[in-house]
């Protein structure tokens, strides 16, 4: 039997949401006490029904409004840095034809269809001074933080690929 005045449930539920948004509430007993301090006459079964109908979720930090919970980022597999760099070195050694500096960019050339895997490995290696890549079919633009970072990356790529700074490796056409 509902003995509450019309609109009482709406006002009470609005107050419950306000309390949960403003305060960390760990239990229904605590919420019940806060409501009573604010002048609401409510029983435990009524509060339990309100919590259920509002869809409040209980977390280790207390009750929350579910739509206000920020979504967690998708988990990312951890790959140790040395494995990421070894993969990058392997791709550079087998695929890079040239690496040239252009200001704070490094332009890397590969055989057709090899740029994307190398660009992806460069991004994944998270090398110091490398901001990001744009990989086409046979060309990669690597944006570096400074011209000095670009020069260091170009030297590193040339060394791993077995290239001299002056002479690119000859591409064999298929």
- What is the per-residue pLDDT for 79? 76
Across residues 40-54, what is the average pLDDT? 92
Write down the pTM of the prediction: 0.54
Which residues lie below 8 Å from residue 28, measured CB to CB, with a gap of 6+?
44, 47, 48, 51
Distances (CA, A) of 154 to 13, 96, 150: 63, 11, 6
| Class of residue 153 by CB neighbours under 10 A (exposed 0-12, middle 13-18, buried 19+) | buried
> Could you read off the pLDDT of 111-123 as tens digits, one per residue?
998 999 999 999 9
Ordered by where they begin, the domains of the chain are: 8-68 (1.10.10.10), 81-161 (3.30.1360.40)
| Class of residue 73 by CB neighbours under 10 A (exposed 0-12, middle 13-18, buried 19+) | exposed
Number of residues that make up the chain = 174
**Torsions phi, psi of 83, nearest 5?**
-70, -40
Residue 3: pLDDT band with limits 50, 70, 90 = low
d(CA 90, CA 81): 14
């Amino acid at each position: 039997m509902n003995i509450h005045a019309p609109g009482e449930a709406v006002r009470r539920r609005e107050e419950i949401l306000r309390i949960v948004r403003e305060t960390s509430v760990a239990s229904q007993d605590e919420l019940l006490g806060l409501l009573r301090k604010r002048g609401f006459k409510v029983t435990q079964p009524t509060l339990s029904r309100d919590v259920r109908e509002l869809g409040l979720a209980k977390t280790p930090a207390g009750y929350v409004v579910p739509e206000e919970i920020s979504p967690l980022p998708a988990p990312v597999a951890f790959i140790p840095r040395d494995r990421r760099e070894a993969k990058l070195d392997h791709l550079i050694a087998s695929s890079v034809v040239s690496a040239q500096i252009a200001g704070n960019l490094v332009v890397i050339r590969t055989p057709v269809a090899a740029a994307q895997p190398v660009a992806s490995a460069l991004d994944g290696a998270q090398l110091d001074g490398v901001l990001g890549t744009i990989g086409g079919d046979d060309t990669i633009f690597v944006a570096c933080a400074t011209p000095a970072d670009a020069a260091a990356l170009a030297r590193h790529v040339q060394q791993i690929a077995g290239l001299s700074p002056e002479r690119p490796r000859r591409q064999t056409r298929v």
